[in-house]
Amino acid sequence: MVAVRYETTFKLYPYEKVAAQDLPPARHPVVIAGGGPVGLALALDLGQKGTPVLVLDDHDGAGQGSRAICFAKRTLDVANRLGASGPMVEKGVVWNVGKVFHGDGKLFDFNLSPEDGHRNPAFINLQQPYFERYLVDAIRVAQADGVPIELRGRNQVSGLTVHDTYSTLDVDTPDGIYQIEADYLIACDGARSPLRDMMGLSFDGRVFEDNFLIADVKMKADFPTERWFWFEPPFEGAGQSALLHKQPDDIWRIDFQLGWDIDREKELDPERIRTRVDAMLSSQSGSIPDYELEWTSIYTFQCRRMKTFRHGPVLFAGDSAHQVSPFGARGANSGVQDADNLGWKLDLVLKGIAPETLLDSYATEREHGADENILNSSRATDFMTPKTEVSRTFRDAVLTLASKHPFARPLVNSGRLSVPCSYDGFALFGEDALNGPPISRPSAPCVDASYQDGFLLDHLGGQFTILAFGGPAPASVSAEGVGTKIVHVTEPNEQMRARYLGDAPQAIYLIRPDQHVVARWPNYDADAIKTAIKTAIGKGA
């Protein structure tokens, strides 16, 4: 009988017994273990492409606590493509002003005033349970339209046999165990991935010896919508750093970096937490606002990834495959990029259009993404918690200079926000015959721009697309069973000129289904596009 390990915030997929539980094992093209942000995004993507997908989750909804709270533009762009971003952006909090403090003093402010021509902000703050709920809402809408997605709550994978070309799963439920088979099994089952353990796979990396106390507080009074970050906060027992961040529903996330040798029980005592929170909240105004403690937790973190994300018919995505420190919001955001990368590849392989080796490119591309995230979050962590005397000297010198001289401010590292990954030099990308702006080079994700009454990315969708700026209307090209959608921007605006054309009067872009640029040319050439499509689906020479 499947155990309940935690309380849920929202019951999103309550357990219902299905006929399959009393029948011989049924074979599914794709089974996703784990109904978190990554598993749900992947399910929605696959289902919308017409590939049947079954999601198993050992609980019946989103777990408690805010957990991932910062969703980056790229994630929102993916969610927009999946038809789920509307309520996220509506509910989420957008902030632009940040303040960096060192001890008693403020070092500097910054204002991330948004650039024009993007549907989505650089990021929103939103509690993870809402993100999951809105994905499930979109899945329910899709299901009503006949999209082949099935969610089974309180279905826990309790046994796994991996064969050469499929897997057999034991699934535990409140009505006992049944078996299913999966052509492809996607492990989106989190940092402690039971599937990874069942397969005896290692998960090595660097452990950072630190404990972070999270307190979500519900504020009754007004408080500014800003991000406040302290190096060496002046409040008693606050540790090395502290962070204050706004979430929806009048909730504020507060993080205290407590150090390694702590008494967890004692630190979780609400009275002790309140003492710290009081000191922080009153530090700028002198008075303590009325608040309630909503959720508290202590965590440690590691920066690590699996050696490879693909093991035959089993693929790992999200936290099960890689973990980073929380600075920079690179956990859930990179997991959604995993789903975005894997969805179209799995779909083409299962439809017999692409060779199954295309799935190896999921692993190599996203392993690169994970390495980039691990590097960035390790650097932030090393800056925030200097490991040697000389690194502390330099860190403190940077902070001191940053209050006086702008040059030192880019060196201050309290986390670099997740930006989308590009795959420079990877095998699936073609030529840059345009030599246009670097931001839209082959392998980069398409950058948004205003277009007609909306935005450019809205027009791209989730299939291979020929995107033409200026010039004559291109004809659709099809190669190896892959067709292309045409988006022809007859009169490129200033944003498109800056982001896609540079000095060129016109351009042709081939975009893959996850909206990364495959190749680009100054002129339409059907043969060149055919070659690029073959390369992009792993059938290149």
Partner 1 sequence: MPLNLDPNITNPDEFYDELIRAHEGLTKDQSDAYNARLILVLCNEIGDRDVLRAALEAAK
Residues in contact with partner 1 by CB under 8 A are 376, 379, 382-383, 388-391, 394, 398, 401, 404-407, 409-411, 413, 416
219 versus 411: smaller Cβ distance to partner 1: 411
d(CA 94, CA 111): 12
240 versus 493: smaller Cβ distance to partner 1: 240
Q: Which two tokens stand for residue 310?
A: 């693909």
379 versus 441: smaller Cβ distance to partner 1: 379
Q: Count other Cβ atoms within 10 Å, centred on residue 432.
A: 16
CB 410 to partner 1: min, Å: 4
CB 377 to partner 1: min, Å: 11
CB 108 to partner 1: min, Å: 12
d(CA 332, CA 70): 8
379 versus 459: smaller Cβ distance to partner 1: 379
Beta bridge partners of 186: 32, 315
97 versus 401: smaller Cβ distance to partner 1: 401
Best CA proximity match to 455, nearest among 502, 428, 489, 497: 489
CB 382 to partner 1: min, Å: 7
Q: Which amino acid is at 495?
A: Q
- For every residue of 231-243, which 3-state class applies, written as one string? ECCCCCCCCCEEE
5 versus 405: smaller Cβ distance to partner 1: 405
Parallel, antiparallel or unpaired: strands 241-247 and 227-231: antiparallel
146 versus 410: smaller Cβ distance to partner 1: 410
CB 333 to partner 1: min, Å: 18
In sequence order, the 6+-apart residues with CB closer than 8 A to the CB of 266 are 272
Best CA proximity match to 123, nearest among 93, 153, 83: 93
416 versus 488: smaller Cβ distance to partner 1: 416
64 versus 414: smaller Cβ distance to partner 1: 414
205 versus 522: smaller Cβ distance to partner 1: 205
Q: How many CA atoms lie within 13 A of 380 on its CB side?
A: 21
Q: Which amino acid is at 512?
A: R
d(CA 76, CA 83): 10
CB 412 to partner 1: min, Å: 9
In sequence order, the 6+-apart residues with CB closer than 8 A to the CB of 221 are 289, 290
CB 415 to partner 1: min, Å: 11
3-state class (DSSP) for residue 180: strand
CB 121 to partner 1: min, Å: 23
DSSP 226: -
d(CA 330, CA 310): 21
CB 389 to partner 1: min, Å: 6
Q: What single string gives the DSSP state of each residue in 292-359?
A: EEEEEEEEEEEEEE-S-SEETTEEE-GGGTEE--STTS-SHHHHHHHHHHHHHHHHHHHTTSS-TTHH
In sequence order, the 6+-apart residues with CB closer than 8 A to the CB of 441 are 422, 424, 432, 517, 520
CB 403 to partner 1: min, Å: 12
Q: Which amino acid is at 94?
A: V
331 versus 415: smaller Cβ distance to partner 1: 415
260 versus 394: smaller Cβ distance to partner 1: 394
Best CA proximity match to 68, nearest among 96, 37, 94: 37
d(CA 421, CA 194): 28
CB 302 to partner 1: min, Å: 19
CB 383 to partner 1: min, Å: 7
Best CA proximity match to 213, nearest among 65, 88, 105, 312: 65
